[in-house]
Amino acid sequence: MTAPDSVAGSDLVEVTPGVYAWVQEDGSWWVNNAGAIIGEDGVILIDTCATAKRTHAFLSAVERVANGATVCVAVNTHLHGDHTHGNALLPYSAIIVAHQSTRDGILTDTVLIDTPPIWDPMPYWGIDHHRAPTVIPHGDLTLYTGEHRVQVCHPGFPAHTTGDLVAWLPSEAVLFAGDLLFHGVTPLAFMGSVDGALRSLDWMAKFPAQHVIPGHGPIVTGEDFESVLAAHDRYYRFIKDTAQRGRHDDQTPLEAARSCDLGEFAEWGDAERLVLNLHRAYCDAAGTEFDLLAAFTDTVAFNDGPLHCIA
């Protein structure tokens, strides 16, 4: 029987005993993955969700398997609202952990109260305020619940954003990668760095993971991790090459996007993210400030209208 608070296409998957991934189809805009580690000292969450409906479904699914344990800690892998809006629905006693720039970004974010008309249909958040993380690690942080040891690590440089964290469970060989990894969905680096995103792949490859939960898309199992990383590597290099050619030919990022061939990457969801990534690559190469409004305006133009959204 389907629980009344469930969301179609969202499922809590037990990856290893006590370690769960909340996997949401189709992994497109605002539809993220999250996680829960359940032990006798309480529940450690990895991220929340974009909307109240999705976060309630996630928290209810966790509650059903938690044997009465409550959420004591939540780790935000980065600032984006698909991973953090649901912070506001966590128990007041839960501690939220994130990188300093994630906290700073959440505190200045206006998407919840002034959503730009970029998506169609517009997401209905059901949440009207942010809850920012209050615990900021400087260096790696280790969390325990029962038998589970969770290492929270930052690559040390901007990649998907300037404050990415992953959660690594060495005993279980499980890696919650946040949005440093996508699977079957176009990766994004517009609020971080294309070069950094490229570097982060080598950094992630050092975790001997058997189960990797990407920020979006299906779980990656051990033998596929390398090929998913390799596909990201090809994509980020494609972005860099396209940006370099576009700048050489005096094209805008939108013109460069329109004149390139996405090739194998056309199969990934949300292919229009090409424009956002090119904007970032142009700025990084020229040393200029990133213009978020211009980047999204161009992305909507490239897409011939607002971006498809099922949040």
Stretch in the footprint of Zn ion (CB under 5 A) among 37-45, 77-85, 99-107, 258-266: 77-85
Q: In whole angstroms, how close is the CB of 83 to Zn ion at the nearest point?
A: 5
Stretch that binds Zn ion, among 4-12, 76-84, 138-146, 157-165 (CB under 5 A): 76-84
User: Is the Cβ of residue 18 or residue 269 nearer to Zn ion in the bound state?
Assistant: 269
Applying CB under 5 A, among 28, 32, 193, 299 the residue interacting with Zn ion is 32
Query: x/- contact string, 78-97, with Zn ion (CB under 5 A)?
Result: --x-x---------------
Please work out the total of residues on this chain that contact Zn ion, with binding judged by CB under 5 A. Answer: 5
Instruction: Tell the smallest beta-carbon distance from residue 160 to Zn ion (Å).
Output: 8
- Between 82 and 284, CB nearer to Zn ion: 82
Name the burial class of residue 168, with classes exposed (0-12), middle (13-18) and buried (19+) by CB atoms within 10 angstroms of its CB: buried
Contact assessment for residue 192 and residue 158, using Cβ atoms and an 8 Å cutoff: yes
Whole-number minimum distance, CB 181 to Zn ion, in Å?
A: 11
In the complex with Zn ion, the residue whose CB is nearer, 50 or 90, is 50
Whole-angstrom distance, CA of residue 103 vs CA of residue 30: 19
Nearer residue to Zn ion within complex by CB, 145 or 299: 299
Alpha carbons within 13 angstroms on the beta-carbon side of residue 293 total 2
Of the pair 54, 148, the CB lying nearest Zn ion is at 54
Q: Does 164 engage in binding with Zn ion (CB under 5 A)? A: no
Q: How far apart are CA 45 and CA 53, in angstroms?
A: 17
The secondary element (H helix, E strand) that includes residue 23 is: strand 19-24
Residue type, 210: Q
Rg (CA), the chain: 19
Q: Enumerate residues 175-234 that contact Zn ion by CB under 5 A.
A: 179, 215
Q: Least distance from C-beta 298 to Zn ion, angstroms?
A: 20
User: What is d(CA 201, CA 269) in angstroms, rounded to the nearest whole number?
Assistant: 20
CA dist 115 → 26, 118, 123, 125 (Å): 22, 8, 9, 10
Separation of alpha carbons 294 and 116, rounded Å: 12
Which residue in 14, 10, 17, 15 sits closest to 48, CA to CA? 10
With CA atoms as reference, report the closest residue to 163 among 211, 235, 107, 94: 107
Closer to Zn ion at the Cβ: 48 or 251? Answer: 48
Q: End-to-end CA distance of the chain, in Å?
A: 23
In three-state secondary structure terms, 33 is coil
* CB of 260 closer than 8 Å to CB of 230: no
Using CB under 5 A, which of the segments 29-37, 143-151, 165-173, 281-289 binds Zn ion?
Answer: 29-37
Q: Which is nearer to Zn ion, 13 or 72 (CB)?
A: 13
In whole angstroms, the minimum distance from the beta carbon of 135 to Zn ion comes to 21
Least gap, CB of 96 to Zn ion (angstroms): 17
To Zn ion, the closest distance from the beta carbon of 7 in angstroms equals: 16
Q: How far is the CB of 136 from Zn ion (least distance, A)?
A: 20
**Chain contacts with Zn ion (rule: CB under 5 A):** 32, 80, 82, 179, 215
